[in-house]
Amino acid sequence: MDDRFPKDSPLHAFTDDEVTAIFAAGVRRPCAPGDVLVAEGEPGDSMFFLVEGHAEARVQGGRAVRQYAPGSYFGELSFINPGHKRSATIVTTSPAAVLVLDQTSIQSLLSSHPRAIFTLLRRTTAFLVDAEKNLVADLRRQNQELQDTIARLDFTRRQLSAEEERARTDGLTGLFNRRAFDAELPAFMQRAQAIGKGLALIAMDLDHFKPVNDSMGHAAGDFVLKEVGRILREQVRRTDLPCRIGGDEFIVLLADLDEMAAFKRAEALRMAVGTFSHPGNERGIRITTTMGGTMYRPGEAVEAFMHRADEALYAAKRAGRNRVGWTS
């Protein structure tokens, strides 16, 4: 074997006679630094032995993935299977010389030294097996990375969902808060108009709530508010939206029902609030609620809808409280 080639170079896979035959069948070509020997993606029909100098394989984007020294060869897949697309771009990185074997060369070697072709086939098969193993390992790694990314995204999504839910929920009563109400009301109105079903807005304030806070403390007041929240959650449907919008003020959206059914539901809520037990009972303090309700008029603005419910609430308060005021 020529001493110019390292003893561990790929060229040592061939016998001395085969190397002599290979060099006789090929054409030597000098190269300058930066010469492109093969381009990624182009079909090829020849292979190259690096006789002098150095080269490197680069993939899309210019990233170097392999280095070649004297005694190396590459391109054998296209040499054995003409038209096979190159898997990388190979560029010389120093003054170099290559031996080019084309399809005429393969015919010459088949006639004179067929074992050299067999050695190429054996190495190519081993190369393909290694490439397949690397591909499977890479796919497994990418799949694991994808699973890890999905898990992280799912965790983040659940965190964001939980944070968003907390931001939309009143911490004391567990009802939706003013932020949630402001966000959901337009959607309720659009849906009611689209499907032609009734939508009621019930504005409600607690009567005699201040005496509970003033005479029994905020713990007793918090108990009252929690109980009102429980009553609203238990007595409305999944399609409704019960909200605490501040202090002892609540709003309930009742979807998919007519005016008479909405009024009856408001009355049922009023009666439930007026009969639950609370710490003020022992001191003769009775918690009741005054409500104002109205039905959505298709095409009206949010402000008009809410203003009409507020007017009904104020009218009910002026009439003596503990009642449902209604504006059609």
**Whole-angstrom distance, CA of residue 189 vs CA of residue 89:** 62
Task: For residue 325, give the 3-state DSSP assignment.
Answer: strand
**Whole-angstrom distance, CA of residue 50 vs CA of residue 48:** 6
Pairing mode of beta strands 249-255, 288-295? unpaired
Amino acid at 230: R
**Whole-angstrom distance, CA of residue 206 vs CA of residue 287:** 7
Active site residues: 248
For residues 298-320, one letter each, b for 16 or more C-beta atoms within 10 angstroms of the residue's C-beta and e for the rest, the string is eeeeeeebbebbeebbeebbeee
